[in-house]
Amino acid sequence: MEVHLERVTATPLGSDELRVRHRAGPRRRGGLPVLPRALTIAVFVSVLAACGGTTKPSVEPEVTQDDAGEMDIEMMVADADPEVDSEAETSESDAHDGEVVAAADAVIEPPADTAVPVDAGEDVADVVGPESRDDIYGVSVLRAESWWVDAGLIYHKDAVRRLRGINWFGLETSDRALHGTWFGRKVESFLAELHTLGFDALRIPVSPESINPGFGAASWAQNAYEAGEAATGREQLERLIGVATDFAILLDFHTCDPTQLGTALPGRPDGCQGYDADRWLADLTTLATLARDHDNVLGIDLTNEPHALTWSQWKALAERGAEAVLRANPRLLVFVEGVAGASRYGIHYPFWGENLTEAASQTPNIPRSRLVFSPHAYGPGIANQSYFAAANFPVNMPAIWDAHFGHLVPSFGFAVGEFGGHYDDDAQAGEVAWNEAFVSYLATRDRRGPASFFYWCLNANSGDTGGLYLDDWTTIDQKRLTLLAPLLAR
């Protein structure tokens, strides 16, 4: 990938700082913090390796990006199911742009809502009430003490919880700490403001180095909490969970190796050197065990954007991951993201994490009362797909979203794990229309009310999307807040 340095001249301290913005073909998020000059040199090396997010190319099969890109799609598709769609035809120029040439104006019929029965941990509760229980891998668990799903709705104990969430990254990086506190602002201050703005949930990306003890946090972050010092990544995570009691927290297994952030992410949970599926399962178990004493942790997102896998491959791994989580803590939810282009998707190429086309017909064998499907969706500012140039854009988008993931509503637990962008047509034409169309889609897709969501992101240093906070990490981007108002309303 390419790392671009941008000079930022309007910092609160009046200094002239450098920020890393990552560009890796069509999809990138994250970046180095904008630091006061005195701290820039001290943290530059560790944060440069960290990169604060993931890269997400969205290119059609059989396109090999150069070494400034993200991954070799030919290798990914070589392991794909033989039934991968071949409707999309690629021209040389379109392949270069990372687009899929397809019938952009076509209306896609969403797959039939044909969920298969769940064998392991089939729900036994017939009613919603104080004595309702779920059988989770042989353990009878009171719903009144759990996070659970019924008829597609997420509950905490006895109340429906519609999640109004935001992503806050940093713990998954080599900093092993939430980004943004280098100006001296405490985490508790951010949380108080987020709560005032209407957010009630956090998605927190983590890595093995913040899951397990012994990995030091960045020096600028060790006093980021009013509640006390947190010297390691694990202590940072525990401190956050302990102070964010007004928020439902989703722990996202984001990468198995922080040094891969901003470069070539493996697109599977066990794709890092020296890190296999057994270690992944052990880390999921550790997270689930940590959550036993914190019922504000609603669940575990098993793996961020498993784009290198087919749906059948990811389904098998997700079943193993879910069992590890729920045997350790049967009161949690398990979030399962979509794949990308290595499996059936119709005629419109999906973003990483978006493709849940086969999820209803090939449902993972996970207790339905604990399963939440969690797609990611992005617009033209991330990858300028051909359907963004359709004559009827963005009216064409709901049919595409329905085909990729919307057909799961309302039969399954559902929460969008990431969406966003710069929301600025000066950055990319169509960004405003896409974002407004997607918010409208989330607000109306389920007649019972807006869908649960986690907006990407809080961070000002998200290179390809920007964040809720501007570069001073104090000023709110009001246009984003206005955009999200229909989803934040109570």
Q: Is the pLDDT score of 433 beyond 70? A: yes
How many C-beta atoms surround the C-beta of residue 100 within 10 A? 25
Task: Give yes or no for residue 211 having a pLDDT over 70.
Answer: yes
- Residue 251 above 90 pLDDT? yes
Whole-number Å distance between alpha carbons of 101 and 88: 6
Give the pLDDT of residue 198: 98
pLDDT tens, 29-77? 333 333 433 344 333 334 333 444 444 444 443 333 333 333 333 333 3
The reported pLDDT for the residue numbered 266 is 86
Q: How confident is the model at residue 265 (pLDDT cuts 50, 70, 90)?
A: confident
Contact (CB, 8 A) for 154 and 333: yes
- When pLDDT is cut at 50, 70 and 90, the band that residue 382 belongs to is very high
Task: Give the pLDDT confidence of 217-237 residue by residue, as tens digits.
Answer: 999 999 999 999 999 999 999
Which of 68-77, 149-158, 480-489 bottoms out in mean pLDDT, i.e. has the lowest? 68-77
**Amino acid, res. 282:** A
Annotated active-site residue in 305, 323, 337, 358:
305
pLDDT at 311: 98
Active site residue 305: yes
B/e letters for 292-328, b = 16+ CB within 10 Å, e = fewer, are eeebbbbbbbbbbbbbbbbbebbbebbbbbbbbbbeb
The model carries a pTM of 0.80
192, pLDDT greater than 90: yes
**pLDDT score for 131:** 84
State mean pLDDT over 128-141.
89
Averaged pLDDT for residues 347-354 = 97
Active site residue 418: yes
pLDDT attached to residue 129: 67
| pLDDT (tens digit per residue) in 446-460 | 999 999 999 999 999
Local confidence band at 260 (pLDDT 50, 70, 90 cut-offs): confident
* Torsion region of 326: left, alpha or beta (phi above 0 gives left; psi -120 to 50 gives alpha): alpha
pLDDT value at 275 more than 60: yes
Query: Which tens digits make up the pLDDT trace of 96-134?
Result: 233 333 333 333 333 343 333 333 333 334 446 668 999
Pick the catalytic residue from 60, 172, 209, 418.
Answer: 418
Which one-letter amino acid corresponds to residue 151?
A
261, 252 Cβ separation under 8 angstroms:
no
pLDDT at 28: 38
Residue 318: what residue type? A
Computed over every residue of the chain, the mean pLDDT equals: 80
| Mean pLDDT within 330-359 | 97
pLDDT of residue 83: 40
- Surface-to-core class of residue 212, CB atoms within 10 Å of its CB (0-12 exposed, 13-18 middle, 19+ buried): middle
Residue 339 or residue 57, greater confidence: 339
Res 12: pLDDT = 33
- Give SS3 for 150: strand
Domain parsing of the chain, residue ranges? 57-488
Alpha carbon of residue 265 to chain centroid: 14
- Residue 52 contacts residue 284 (beta carbons within 8 Å): no
Position 447 scores a pLDDT of: 92
Which residue type does 68 have? A
pLDDT value at residue 291: 98
* Residue 292 pLDDT > 70: yes
CATH of domain 57-488: 3.20.20.80
DSSP assignment string, 54-98:
-B-----TT-B--TTSS-BHHHHHHTS-TT-----B--HHHHHHT
Residue type, 316: A
Check residue 91 and give its pLDDT. 30
Percent of the chain at pLDDT above 90? 71
Decide: 340 and 355 in contact? Cβ < 8 Å. Answer: yes
Q: Which residue has the higher pLDDT, 45 or 360?
A: 360
Predicted pLDDT at 121: 37
